[in-house]
């Protein structure tokens, strides 16, 4: 079986299997690794009683990580599939200048003493290409601030446990005027606006080339405090994330578990060249606004082999509200999501609703959507602005299981204090202006959906700004039996009744392509089309 080396770190590596399966394989493979070349010879010479032997693992996951490696060392890795075919590659781990154990800086890791100062001291003392090591134990912390060109290694059994008293969290001001100038310096953000927010357990401000690795856990501990009570009420500042990366570049996370977040869990903001590999993101299903990963005004972001199970959208791709687009315009571009398990959230991969600066180029493939309310979820509204252009969205090789509403596009999303006003919800055309958003091309292909309830597709474009092109190709969908369904409103807008067993709803779409779409067990076979300017229907079977 061919595989690729997806990411190399100083003490870990992530592999990705090259196959046609989604997230996991039907038959497990064996992965073996050992030191290679001159590194192996030197080690065997030093310790002849301990020859260089293979370390062996078994997995059915398409993405697999190995840690506990030695820095600046060459390794040979092999994958043996169920038929006995072996494929191998070599790689070299990254250099490491020094390893700093936080316990030598005074961290106790006993779950009682607060360890913030000791761990922050280790981070501040870490030289370029150094590693701050957090061994097994429970470390009570308030926000820690990262620095450039370092690795934070949270080892298996280590837990960074968030303090619950919000008064002990620093505040990141939303906007600060530069001295003597008209320019603004933005740090804090809340739902697309520059507002004061608490710092996050791991906060990176303008840092570069940072790796966060290991089998340990970053636990926001939100349920033990008051973070989830009155969630829309500002108390001192707005709720923090667990990981907040503002104006960063080259930050990668691998292997760690991130859980119990006060709000959005991992929030990259105005950052580039980010990688999230083989993570586990987990929040209670009833926890408010606890999105999994929310890249906002970011470019070149990869999410690979990650499991997300949260209380809101598993992923929400954003680019701010209209003030940020007018003053700090930065579109989100080139997002890759692959071989992930997204479960139990409101949306599997959501785009919006804060997309005033635009989102261009989102590719989601080989993912399993399990038990989320919606699969592809696009949400915007009047007032997001003329730069709120969403285009180049492609979903392919997806399996959706028990997703009641697999494909939704909503340009009447009733968020914000004015969300239910006539301006936002009027179904008749109003004049286009600099507040009018637009949606371009959306493609979904080679997708299987089981357990559909409300509708396979619900696309609601603005009459003055129709959805550009919605193309569904090779889609197999089956519905729950009628007696087991719950009538649901497919998208969050006014004057839309709940539906059950509806096939396709499309309003205000310039071009609708349905090619090889097969739907079984729906009650309403005839698509409900209104304001669809061009239709291309081939091999469409609904029954």
Provide the annotated active-site residues.
312, 346
Question: Which contiguous run of DSSP H or E holds residue 44?
Answer: helix 37-46
Coil, strand or helix: which one is 105?
helix
Phi, psi of 41, rounded to the nearest 5 degrees: -60, -45
Give the integer Cα–Cα distance in Å for 77 and 2: 12
3-state secondary structure 266-325: EEEECCEEEEEECCEEECCCCCCCCCCECCECCEEEEEECCEEECCCCCEEEECECHHHH
Residue written as token pair 């569904």: 472
Q: Which of 443, 364, 451 is CA-nearest to residue 406?
A: 451
Structure tokens at 25: 């394989």
What CA–CA distances, in Å, run from 345 to 100, 376, 541? Answer: 38, 12, 30
Measured on CA atoms in the order 3, 21, 316, 441, is the torsion positive or negative?
positive
Kindly state the greatest CA–CA separation across the chain: 81
Beta strands in 81-230 (DSSP E): 86-92, 99-101, 110-114, 130-134, 137-141, 144-145, 150-154, 158-162, 171-172, 175-177, 184-186, 197-198, 202-205, 208-213, 217-219
Give the integer Cα–Cα distance in Å for 310 and 245: 20
Q: Which of 168, 60, 55, 161 is CA-nearest to residue 107?
A: 161
Residue written as token pair 């007032």: 383
Q: Which of 81, 47, 61 is CA-nearest to residue 6?
A: 61
């Amino acid at each position: 079986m061919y595989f690729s080396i997806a990411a190399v770190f100083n003490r870990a590596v992530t592999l990705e299997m090259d196959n046609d399966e989604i997230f996991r394989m039907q038959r497990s493979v064996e992965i073996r690794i050992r030191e290679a070349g001159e590194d192996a010879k030197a080690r065997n010479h030093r310790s002849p009683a301990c020859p260089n032997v293979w370390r062996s693992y078994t997995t059915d996951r398409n993405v697999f990580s190995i840690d506990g490696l030695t820095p600046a060392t060459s390794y040979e890795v092999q994958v043996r599939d169920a038929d006995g075919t072996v494929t191998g590659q070599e790689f070299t781990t990254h250099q490491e200048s020094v390893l700093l154990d936080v316990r030598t800086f005074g961290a106790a890791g006993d779950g009682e003493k607060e360890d913030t100062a000791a761990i922050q001291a280790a981070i501040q003392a870490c030289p370029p290409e150094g590693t701050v090591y957090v061994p097994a134990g429970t470390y009570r912390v308030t926000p820690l601030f990262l620095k450039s060109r370092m690795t934070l290694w949270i080892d298996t059994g280590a837990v960074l446990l968030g303090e619950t008293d919000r008064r002990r969290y620093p505040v990141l001001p939303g906007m600060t005027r530069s001295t003597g100038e008209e320019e603004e310096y933005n740090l804090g953000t809340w739902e697309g606006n520059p507002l004061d927010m608490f710092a996050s357990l791991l906060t990176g401000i303008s840092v570069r080339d940072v790796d966060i690795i290991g089998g340990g856990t970053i636990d926001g501990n939100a349920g033990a405090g008051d973070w989830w009570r009155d969630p829309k009420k500002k108390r001192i500042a707005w709720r923090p994330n667990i990981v907040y990366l503002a104006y960063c570049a080259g930050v990668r996370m691998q292997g760690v578990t991130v859980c119990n977040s006060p709000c959005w869990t991992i929030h990259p903001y105005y950052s580039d060249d980010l990688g999230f590999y083989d993570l586990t993101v987990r929040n209670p299903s009833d926890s408010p606004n606890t999105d999994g990963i929310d890249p906002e005004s970011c470019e070149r972001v990869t999410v690979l082999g990650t499991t997300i199970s949260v209380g809101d959208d598993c992923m929400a791709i954003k680019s701010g509200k209209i003030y940020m687009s007018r003053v700090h315009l930065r579109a989100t571009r080139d997002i890759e999501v692959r071989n992930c398990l997204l479960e139990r959230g409101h949306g599997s991969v959501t785009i919006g609703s804060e997309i005033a600066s635009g989102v261009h180029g989102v590719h989601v493939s080989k993912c399993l959507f399990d038990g989320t309310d919606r699969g592809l979820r696009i949400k915007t509204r009047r007032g997001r602005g003329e730069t709120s252009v969403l285009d180049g969205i492609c979903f392919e090789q997806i399996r959706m299981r028990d997703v009641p509403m697999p494909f939704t596009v909503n340009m009447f999303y009733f968020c914000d204090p004015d969300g239910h006003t006539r301006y936002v919800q009027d179904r008749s055309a109003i004049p286009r202006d600099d507040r009018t958003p637009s949606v371009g091309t959306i493609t979904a292909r080679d997708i299987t959906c089981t357990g559909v309830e409300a509708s396979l597709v619900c696309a609601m474009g603005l009459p003055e700004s129709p959805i550009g092109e919605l193309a569904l190709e090779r889609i197999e969908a089956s519905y729950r039996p009628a007696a087991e369904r719950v009538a649901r409103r497919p998208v969050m807008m006014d004057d839309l009744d709940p539906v059950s067993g509806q096939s396709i709803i499309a309003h205000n779409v310039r071009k609708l392509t349905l090619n090889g779409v097969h739907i079984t067990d729906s009650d309403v076979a005839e698509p409900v089309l209104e304001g669809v300017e061009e239709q291309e229907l081939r091999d469409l079977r609904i029954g």
